[in-house]
């Protein structure tokens, strides 16, 4: 085996390998960011699109300061009777799996 054949082996860094590594890294970061954004904005999106389970949630940020415990209320009428709480979509449940599958699939392309 000659010295030039040895240099062309898998061990050396080339511009092409560095370019492909950068592309793969950027693709990975975009995919992970999409997963992060999906989980952090899921409740707001669920309330806009009306999907997921319904639950008792805090009505606004000031209700948090009142130490309102809306998450323990499981009945809609009891939840609506508390002014610090509201009955709305929480972005969890079976239907979320169908919405998130499509989103995760498109970010992988």
Distances (CA, A) of 12 to 4, 15, 24, 26, 76: 12, 10, 18, 22, 65
The answer to whether 76 and 87 have CB atoms below 8 angstroms apart is yes
Q: Is 88 left (phi over 0), alpha (psi -120 to 50) or beta?
A: beta
93 pLDDT above the threshold of 70: yes
Q: If pLDDT is split at 50, 70 and 90, which confidence band does 14 have?
A: very high
What mean pLDDT is predicted for residues 19-28?
94
The percent of residues above 90 in pLDDT, for the chain, comes to: 17
Phi, psi of 87 (to 5 degrees): -100, 115
């Amino acid at each position: 085996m000659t010295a030039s054949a040895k240099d062309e082996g898998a061990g050396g860094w080339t511009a092409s390998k560095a370019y492909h590594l950068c592309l793969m890294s950027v693709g990975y970061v975009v995919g992970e960011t999409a997963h992060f954004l999906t989980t952090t904005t899921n409740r707001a999106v669920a309330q806009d699109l009306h999907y997921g389970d319904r639950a008792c949630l805090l009505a606004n940020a000031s209700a948090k300061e009142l130490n309102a415990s809306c998450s323990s209320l499981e009945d809609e009428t009891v939840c609506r009777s508390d002014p610090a709480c509201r009955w709305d979509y929480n972005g969890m449940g079976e239907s979320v799996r169908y919405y998130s599958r499509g989103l995760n699939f498109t970010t992988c392309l």
